[in-house]
Amino acid sequence: MPIGYEVSLRLFKRGVAYLQTRDRLAAAVRWGMSQSLWRQLLAEMIAQAEPLLAHRIVARDMFTRDRPPDPETIIDLVEFAIRGQRAVILLIRGEYSHFTVVSGISDTRLLLHDSFGLKWLGKQAADRTKAVGKRWIAAESITMIELGDPVTRPIVLPAASSTTKKAAAIDEIWDNRHDLHAAYLADPDKLTFCAELPFIGEITRYHLAKDLGLDVAKPDIHLARLARAEGVTAQELCLRHAHEAGCRVSTVDTILWRACAEGIRDSELYLERGWSAECLHLPVDGLLYGNG
């Protein structure tokens, strides 16, 4: 389905705006994009394009990093996609790594629509050991895009605010991860440090701190109920059990949370009616203890 100049221009402007709001436009123009940023941009562009085309758009990863295919399989599947009038986007590695669009295929070459001005890429580029000109295909990057079913009801464009800001925050933290980790290690108030990171709140800061090795309990809904029933904080509750069991506070936190999340314990019932009432609903060896 030809999309025409006007639609192409609108999509281009939206793509530029997406990178600009994340403060990644200049770096993308000069140095290109990481695969993670490119995939985020692809998802955003698909969401923007579907209402304009009144069709679903399906993007499929053709391979994974865990199971790299042989070079012959790469070429066969790219050719299959092109013959079926599907778009193929892939990452060219080498002296100038960048994404490109495969627009056609011949007996020996992949024909490209390329921002760097490349006209073609030899099929031997599917095999890094035989690549000519120091360019080869990153198999895990190959994405096939095809037009899906017509849209039978209007698609509402996603709100860019929350999702876009969170994605930008993830990129910012990842790009500065080494400096941030060093600052975290040096900060005596690590929980406050975590809370000051973008999109980390008063509760999630405990989760992040646990992941970074701090021995704390996260006062989520289950732990908060269990602690409130005993008139203590989640940290105090887990600290007491940790001393009794000889383990870490975070270990007790995880065990109690999992027990409640899996239904082995009922934190809401415990808060309302006490420990003995909650225990009546505990299944043991296939039986449910209670009045019956």
Is residue 34 located within the same domain as residue 141? yes
Is residue 145 located within the same domain as residue 183? no
Last residue of a domain, one of 115, 150, 185: 150
pLDDT for 216 equals 94
Last residue of a domain, one of 105, 133, 150: 150
Is residue 118 located within the same domain as residue 212? no
In a domain, 158, yes or no: no
Is residue 99 located within the same domain as residue 234? no
Q: Which two tokens stand for residue 200?
A: 């980390």
Is residue 220 located within the same domain as residue 120? no
Whole-model pTM: value is 0.47
Is residue 86 located within the same domain as residue 141? yes
Q: In order along the chain (292 residues), what is the average pLDDT of each group of 10 residues?
A: 74 85 79 78 86 83 72 87 87 82 90 86 85 79 83 49 66 84 91 89 89 91 88 93 93 89 78 61 40 34
In a domain, 17, yes or no: yes
pLDDT for 69 equals 78
Is residue 96 located within the same domain as residue 227? no
Is residue 108 located within the same domain as residue 185? no
CATH number at residue 53: 3.90.70
Residue ranges making up the domain that contains 216: 176-288
In a domain, 157, yes or no: no
Is residue 16 located within the same domain as residue 110? yes
In a domain, 97, yes or no: yes
Is residue 18 located within the same domain as residue 141? yes
How many domains in the chain?
A: 2
pLDDT for 164 equals 62
pLDDT for 157 equals 44
Q: Alpha-carbon distance 200 to 170, whole Å?
A: 11
In a domain, 8, yes or no: yes
Is residue 106 located within the same domain as residue 182? no
Task: Express each pLDDT in 172-229 by its tens digit.
Answer: 888 888 888 989 999 999 999 999 888 888 888 998 999 889 999 999 888 998 898 8
Task: Express each pLDDT in 113-130 by its tens digit.
Answer: 887 788 898 898 888 777
pLDDT for 236 equals 94
